[in-house]
Amino acid sequence: EAAVTQSPRSKVAVTGGKVTLSCHQTNNHDYMYWYRQDTGHGLRLIHYSYVADSTEKGDIPDGYKASRPSQENFSLILELASLSQTAVYFCASSYTETLYFGSGTRLTVL
Amino acid sequence: GDQVKQSPSALSLQEGTNSALRCNFSIATTTVQWFLQNPRGSLMNLFYLVPGTKENGRLKSTFNSKESYSTLHIRDAQLEDSGTYFCAAEAGSGTYQRFGTGTKLQVVP
């Protein structure tokens, strides 16, 4: 079973502050993803990566940056957090098929 | 958003009964995944489908690429089946999955 670990589990941030969400996977998966979940919207893809040192934009990349320094680690960066970025964030990894999700990070921006 | 439409949006089932959830796709879809998000928020993968049918215990899923839909059948519903079911469509190799907005299922005694 793929192991995807997210940190922190929850975070409260101030508007305009910088937030970094971290994701670590231990199964040698090439692909990693960051999704956000809002009530009524399901999961929407922010950024993804298919190889270290490279990231791609998903459907809603504005206001977010991503970093993939190694195959195992994928970070999501909010340089200037805004109220609208309050959500639950999920990281996932995959090889070619099934997505394996982390437990999520609940981010509240005040 | 509307590229993957799930129905119904919510459903209440009596324990022991059967039901079907559906996803309709407005994008050309090559593979479909089904997930269950439990009440604690964890997402578990249920099925990964190319066109065809898969079965696992009380769950069976079908993906019909020609008619652009997928179904998830739940047989003999149990309390632990409660949660939100998501389908996700992939449009082809090198693309990524797009999620529906989910079906919230509550199984009651």
pLDDT digit string, tens, across residues A27-53: 899 999 999 999 767 899 999 999 999
Which CATH number goes with the domain that contains B70?
2.60.40.10
Closest CA to A67 of A44, A82, A48: A48
**Closest residue in chain A to residue B102, using alpha carbons only:** A42
Counting the structural domains of chain B, the total is 1
Residue B30 CB contacts under 8 Å (≥ 6 apart), including other chains: B50, B65, B90, B91, B92, B93
Instruction: Check CB contact under 8 Å for B96 and A48.
Output: yes
Structure tokens at A51: 């190889």
Give the burial string for A5-44 (b: 16+ CB within 10 Å, else e): ebeeeebebeeeeebebbbbbeeebebbbbbbbeeeebbb
> How far off is chain A from B78, nearest CA to CA, in Å?
24
Token pair listed for B70: 């997928």
- Domain limits at B71? 4-108
Whole-number pLDDT of residue A2: 54
pLDDT of res. B1: 52
pLDDT in tens, B1-60: 578 999 999 999 999 999 999 999 998 899 999 999 998 899 999 999 999 999 999 999
The 10s digit of each residue's pLDDT in B53-82 is 999 999 999 999 999 999 999 999 999 999
